[in-house]
Chains A and B, each alone.
Chain A
Amino acid sequence: DTAVSQTPKYLVTQMGNDKSIKCEQNLGHDTMYWYKQDSKKFLKIMFSYNNKELIINETVPNRFSPKSPDKAHLNLHINSLELGDSAVYFCASSQDAGGGASGELFFGEGSRLTVL
């Protein structure tokens, strides 16, 4: 039973296309996240979302949009893909620990996006 699962694991597409990456967690967590890991392996948060609030990293282009149909899912939509969007995208989830803090984060296996 995978706790946080992402699909697809690999995605190769052309510039200008629109694509989505799906994420599901079966841990009953309150908060889900999307992180981007670039070619230098540096991880940076893109979004965090719970049923109350979407927090967007201000450096994320508005071509990226998270969509949460329910508490267990947070999908990532990307419009007008650019070469620089090539990276590994990780979904994660955590349980709120109160006072603004989160508990331990659980990560998916990642989705490697290649834009040609």
Chain B
Amino acid sequence: KQEVTQIPAALSVPEGENLVLNCSFTDSAIYNLQWFRQDPGKGLTSLLLIQSSQREQTSGRLNASLDKSSGRSTLYIAASQPGDSATYLCAAQGGADGLTFGKGTHLIIQP
């Protein structure tokens, strides 16, 4: 049974810093891995989807990498802004289990 772990659980950094959020998963037989953002009281917004055959995906200041063999993914946020403050969730998709989510990293960017 897939388990997804995100480290750190919470992170607070000054505006402008580059930062890395970590995600690990126990079963490497995944179809894809997705990163989401959740703002308080809101639904999830998809940020990046990395297929199992890919190593990374980029969107603007966000870059996500995937190392299936080691069961790890990272989300890199460049030049962080206060508007980046949110909870970031990674989710691994494999078989009939659908998406298995981590518990998220609560990110605060200090102005």
| Chain A residues at the B interface, C-beta cutoff of 8 Å | 4, 33, 40-45, 48, 55, 90, 92, 97, 99-110
Give the residue name and chain of the A residue nearest to B30 (CB).
A101
B31 and A90 form a contact (CB under 8 A): no
Q: Are A43 and B101 also in contact (CB < 8 A) when A90-B44, A100-B95, A107-B43 are? A: yes
B contact patch SS: strand
Interface residues of B in 24-82 (CB under 8 A from A): 31-32, 34, 36, 41-46, 49, 51
Q: Are A109 and B99 also in contact (CB < 8 A) when A101-B93, A103-B49, A104-B49 are? A: no
Q: Are A99 and B99 also in contact (CB < 8 A) when A109-B43, A110-B43 are? A: no
B108 at the binding interface (Cβ < 8 Å): no
- List of A residues within 8 angstroms of B43 by Cβ: 4, 90, 107-110
Q: Are A106 and B31 also in contact (CB < 8 A) when A42-B103, A100-B95 are? A: no
A55 and B99 form a contact (CB under 8 A): no
A41 and B96 form a contact (CB under 8 A): no
Most chain A Cβ neighbours within 10 Å, of B51, B95, B96, B100 = B96
- Picked from B31, B42, B96, the residue with its CB within 8 Å of the CB of A55 is B96
Give the residue name and chain of the B residue nearest to A92 (CB).
B44
* Interchain CA distance A101-B104 in the complex, whole Å: 23
B98 at the binding interface (Cβ < 8 Å): yes
* Interchain CA distance A33-B96 in the complex, whole Å: 12
A41 and B93 form a contact (CB under 8 A): no
